[in-house]
Amino acid sequence: MELLTNKAKQVDRRPMNFWERLYLISIAKGMWITLKHFFKKKATISYPEEKRPFSPVFRGMHVLNRDEEGRENCTACGLCALACPAEAITMEAAERLPGEEHLYREEKYAAKYEINMLRCIFCGFCEEACPKDAVYLSQTVTPASYQRKDFIYNKKDLLIPNPKNSN
């Protein structure tokens, strides 16, 4: 039978000799590996005291962006939800009412915007698909939790604070 890959190894089925049955050589090899690792630099990081350096292309928590005037950039076009291969994003569009020009940039806005972070694979397709630069993945690590409902972020959780209200 011809093998598809070269990863398969032939199993040695001959009986063990006296030294192999004692396992002394195998124990010595194992002790040598343990001794080598004992003197290597430890891979563990003491988290609160030390912060792990992330790659410059690290993709963390999703954020919904605002423009310079504090209005929401999202126009509920749905391209981010369509681009998401994990189908983690759901949204509902609504029409802007008269007098809400200071809240929303366009006539249409996202009345409901949710991301299920348990489904998200942090691919960044939502960020690339957005024509208004409304959604982007920040350098912030998603916080841990013990409950599933804490990983479904709605619009209130994702929207950056309004710079006009912070003064």
CA–CA–CA angle 140, 137, 134 (5° rounding): 130
Report whether 140 belongs to an annotated binding site.
Answer: no
Report whether 120 belongs to an annotated binding site.
Answer: yes
Written as six digits, the tokens of 83 are 């681009």
Contact between residue 96 and residue 107 where contact means Cβ atoms under 8 Å apart? yes
The neighbour count for residue 135, using CB atoms within 10 Å, is 24
Report whether 105 belongs to an annotated binding site.
Answer: no
Report whether 45 belongs to an annotated binding site.
Answer: no
Contact between residue 53 and residue 133 where contact means Cβ atoms under 8 Å apart? no
Residues 124, 60: Cα–Cα separation, whole Å: 10
Report whether 138 belongs to an annotated binding site.
Answer: no
Report whether 123 belongs to an annotated binding site.
Answer: yes
Report whether 33 belongs to an annotated binding site.
Answer: no
Report whether 44 belongs to an annotated binding site.
Answer: no
Which residues are part of a known binding site?
A: 74, 77, 80, 84, 120, 123, 126, 130
Which residues are part of a known binding site for [4Fe-4S] cluster?
A: 74, 77, 80, 84, 120, 123, 126, 130
